[in-house]
Structure 1
Amino acid sequence: MTITSSNRFSRIILITVVALLSMLSFMSLKPAAASAATYSVVSSSNMTKTAYHRASSKGAVYNLSHTKKLANLSSYPNTTWYATKKVTLKHGSTKAIYYAVKNGAGTVSGYVWHSYLAKGKAPLTLKYAKAAVAMDAKTDKVLWSKNANTPRAIASVSKLMTLYLVEQKVANTGSTWNSKVTTSYSGLKRMGTSSVYGGFKFTQNSYTVKQLYQAALIESSNNAAIALGQWVAGGSTPSYNTKFISMMNAQAKKWNLGNATYVSANGMEQSALRSYGYSVSGGDANMVSAKDVALIAKHLITDYPAVLTDSSRGSLTVAGQLCYNYNNLLPGRKYYDSALKVDGLKTGYTALAGYCFVGTGQKSGHDRLITVVLHDEDEFTETRSLMQYVYARNLI
């Protein structure tokens, strides 16, 4: 039989119509199929409040009818969940045990399949930090650590040692916070205008010690830190910078910091400092372990607690220039947690060192806590998690 073009076209139309009708018919059946697959409660019983943490990142927290996902366990790697009820749910012909859980803060609650949970409080895992430590500032006790004794580049966290030696000179000599520091060296003026290493511009040939101290601490000014170091060493030229770095290493030795070596006053690498007229013999970067950074911070805070007055400022105008504090755990900032009482201390970043942060705070009834994270990608989230973990476990 010969099929004409007209017949062939009619058959194509007919097949298309049948296919569309079949698809519409299938779609109309989907809600009925979904409603038949709901979850129902078979039994429920209260249980003694028990701590659990995630056993798998694949799980999720649902409402009781299992129609709404409330949270993914993958977003709560360090959270302890507290179960107060055991529920058996039926889904089709399958029954499964779920726990009614709530996080410690009470902000998330729902039901989780029991096999996605493991008994016990959540261990802490810092995903990004290459090294980290939490320390009791009163006892020097290490409360939690990760590669804490491995020296690493620490970027502008280096300024804590510089600021300590500035405080020491003001406290122990005839110098005052109003003493003048010479800032006329051309390399420092160029550094202040750099899009990468600048921030606080040297528009004057001298500033007070207090002005440069605040610029170095709050704005993390690199030229201010070098100028202060030269002043501590007794001059205002690069040769005094070399002398000051020797003083930094001597102080580290005095404190028995076996994993701390300095080659710059501000944390910039030698490869970057060289073009501004500042370089010394030795390696390319300051290399300090997380534990030794925490000890340096402890000495600074303990011996000169007034540093926290400036480190807790969100911003400050110094000599007509706005100095912005990049500590995002301070009040009003993105990662602020009022329970942690964070009031310091120092941020840092270079491509070599990654993001570094020294945090500190003191809750009522507790010793002061110091935390350090080095070469991090999420330094404020991980610092907050570390602090919360220490307090949740009553480690301090």
Structure 2
Amino acid sequence: MKMNQFLRLALVTCATTITIGMGLWGQTPTVNASSSSYKTVSTTAIKKTPYHKSSTKGAVYNASHTKKVANLKTYPYTTWYATAKVTLKHGSSKALYYKVKNGSGTVSGIVWHKYLKAGTSPFGLKYAKSAVALDVNTNNNVWTKNANTARPIASLSKLMTLYLVRQKISQGKGTWSSKVTTSNAGLKKLGKSNVFGGFKFNHNSYTVRQLYLAGLIESSNNAAIALGQWVAGGSTPAYNKKFIGMMNNQAKEWGLKHSSFVSASGMEQNSLAPYGYSIGASKNANYVSASDIAQISRHFVVDYNDILTDASVKSMKVDGQTLHNYNNLLPGRKYYQKSLNVDGLKTGYTDPAGYCFVGTGRKSGHDRIITVVLHDENEFTETRSLMNYVYNQNLA
């Protein structure tokens, strides 16, 4: 985690006048170096009481106030639990501090009382730039953060692509066994890329089912593009452009107002250009809001519920190649929590998009929820926190 740096206060030994950083009473007093140390006057135990930061100022210090343990602004949604009142003397002044510890017990120390406010911290996500929690049953967003701001979404784009694959099959225009042409040199080159690859086109055709699994589980970019061309009725870059038009038309049909697609895979135009799949669009990336992604995901889960079976596969082989699912909230993975029953849905990452994740699960006695976090740094921990908050507050 990109959290706190440990900083030491300067201990000045010469008998000159120095300026102390933030004073006991929020001022910047000048004192003599001989009186610059903090002394504990008294410590009184209190009943464990929740507090949270009152502003962006302040810090947690060690018990002797010689070392800064953490800046409060780096813990915007943390509840601190006070167990004692501590009076410190600094020079001729006295001040009240609270002895505190965060809920996980990883950070503890003393905080000046004016920097804390009574009560538990309001819930929020520190890293995600946009986020949504959607109740699938009611189709209501039960928690949001910048929900309608369109952002690059990387491989979350594949949910729209794969939905349109399922739609074509359900309309009787293809089957799982239909053959998809994969002979395009650009797509074969893309599959071998160390950065954008993941499923190699070792043959000139694969079944729809094989490419669907490669696109969903491994997040194969060339598989998504090839499937898009198949949906559009051909196997050349011209059909890729036609398919992207179909993606945008579907978004409009659903009434999505913050969605614009230029890529079937979620790769940016400048990354697709070397493989012959940039469509020359004015926008470099797919821009979709968290709320719109939640709606696309809901349509998928409601219309083709078996996606949850496929999306919960942690790994499998197709054409002798291992498809790895990067969803770390699945059973046996690092961030798994049994009570959340997470069984999907899709990860994504590019430099412009950051880490993106659509999660879904259904806690016993509650509705299924879909969560979306965009441009995150800790997409799984924040998704898990969001899911727990929704269920603990009985929002779904």
Q: Scaled by the length of structure 2, what TM-score is found? A: 0.77
Matches within 5 A, 1:321-360: 321-360=321-360
Equivalent residue number for residue 28 of structure 1: none
Q: What is residue 187 of structure 1 aligned with on the other side?
A: 186
Structure 2 letter corresponding to 1:363: K
Separation in 2 of the partners of 1:189 and 1:340? 39
Shift in alpha-carbon separation, 1:353–1:68, aligned structure 2, 3 A: closer
Work out whether residues 76 and 126 of structure 2, in 8 Å CA contact, stay in contact via their aligned partners in 1. Answer: no
- The SS at the match of 1:204 is coil
SS of 1:173 mapped into structure 2 = coil
Match of 1:289 in 2: 289
Tell me the percent identity. 62
Moved more, 263-272 or 250-259: 263-272
User: What is the match of residue 32 of structure 1?
Assistant: none
2:263 is the alignment partner of 1:264: yes
CA apart distance, 1:191: 0.9
Change (3 A) 1:69 1:371: same
Hey, what's the Cα distance between the residues in 2 that align with 1:129 and 1:73?
Answer: 19
Report the counterpart of residue 391 of structure 1 in structure 2.
391
Quick one: distance in 2 between partners of 1:281 and 1:92?
67
Distance 2:72 2:281 in 1: 47
Matches within 5 A, 1:58-69: 58-60=58-60
| CA-atom RMSD in angstroms | 3.5
Q: Which has more helix, going by share of residues?
A: 1
In the TM superposition, what whole-angstrom CA distance separates every residue of 1:141-171 from its partner, at most 9, and x where no partner exists? Answer: 2222222212222111100001111111222
Match of 1:368 in 2: 368
Letter in 2 for 1:348: G
Q: Which amino acid aligns with 2:239?
A: Y
Separation (CA, whole Å) in 2 of partners of 1:381 and 1:52: 22
User: Which stretch shifts more, 370-379 or 261-270?
Assistant: 370-379
The change in CA–CA distance for 1:366 and 1:134 in structure 2 (over 3 A counts) is same
Greater displacement, 73-82 / 360-369: 73-82
Q: Deviations over 1:59-117 (max 9, x none)?
A: 54989x9999999866754234566x7x44455796746477773x7998998765443
CA distance in 2, matches of 1:350, 1:101: 36
* SS in structure 1 at match of 2:346: strand
CA offsets per residue over residues 266-293 of structure 1, 9 Å max, x none?
Answer: 1112222232222335332211111111
Residues 285, 95 of structure 1: CA spacing in aligned structure 2 closer, same or farther, 3 A cutoff? closer
Task: Map residues 307-322 of structure 1 onto 2, 5 A cutoff.
Answer: 307-322=307-322
The match for 2:224 is 225
Cα distance change of structure 1 residues 244 and 192 upon mapping to structure 2, 3 Å threshold: same
Q: Distance in 1 between matches of 2:285 and 2:239?
A: 19
**1:15 aligned residue:** none
Per-residue CA deviation, residues 125-149 of structure 1 (Å, 9 max, x unaligned), is 4333332222222222222222221
Offset of residue 205 of structure 1: 1.5
Shift of 1:345: 1.4
User: What pairs with 1:149-298 in structure 2 (closer than 5 Å)?
Assistant: 149-173=148-172, 175-283=174-282, 284-298=284-298
- Contact residue 168 and residue 231 of structure 2 kept, 8 A: yes
The letter of the residue matching 1:359 is G
Q: Please show how residues 103-114 of structure 1 align to structure 2 within 5 Å.
A: 103=103, 114=113
Segments of structure 1 that go 5 or more residues without pairing to the other structure are 1-35
Rounded Cα–Cα distance in structure 2 between residues aligned with 1:97 and 1:353 = 42
Structure 2 Cα separation of the partners of residues 172 and 289 of structure 1: 28
Task: Name the counterpart of 2:23.
Answer: none
Which is higher, the Rg of structure 1 or of structure 2?
A: 1
Q: Deviations over 1:338-381 (max 9, x none)?
A: 34332221111222222222122221112222222222233233
Q: Which string of whole-angstrom CA distances, capped at 9 and with x for unpartnered residues, describes residues 217-259 of structure 1?
A: 1111001001111111222222222221121111111100011
Q: Classify the secondary structure of the residue corresponding to 1:181.
A: strand
Contact 1:362–1:369, Cα closer than 8 Å, also in 2 = yes
TM superposition score normalised by structure 1:
0.77
Query: Secondary structure, in 3 states, of the residue corresponding to 2:209?
Result: helix
CA distance in 1, matches of 2:275, 2:176: 27
Displacement of 1:309 in angstroms is 1.4
Q: Does 1:117 align with 2:116?
A: yes
**Deviates further, 215-224 or 298-307:** 298-307
How far is the alpha carbon of 1:200 from its aligned partner? 0.2
Cα distance change, pair 361–58 in 1 and its aligned pair in 2 (3 A): farther
Shift of 1:297: 0.8
Q: Which residue of 2 aligns with 1:12?
A: none
Report the more deviating stretch, 150-159 or 130-139: 130-139
Count the aligned residue pairs: 359
Distance in 1 (alpha carbons) for counterparts of 2:226 and 2:232: 10
Q: Tell me if structure 1 keeps the 8 A contact 2:335–2:380.
A: yes
Letter of the 2:220 partner, please give it: S
Contact 1:53/1:80 (CA < 8 Å) preserved in 2? yes
Shift of 1:45: 5.6
Q: 1:201 to 1:73 in 2, by over 3 A?
A: same
Matched residue type, 1:130: K
In 2, the alpha carbon distance for the partners of 1:68 and 1:281 equals: 55
Hey, what's the Cα distance between the residues in 2 that align with 1:207 and 1:39?
Answer: 76
Find the aligned partners of 1:120 and 1:257 in 2 and give their Cα distance: 39
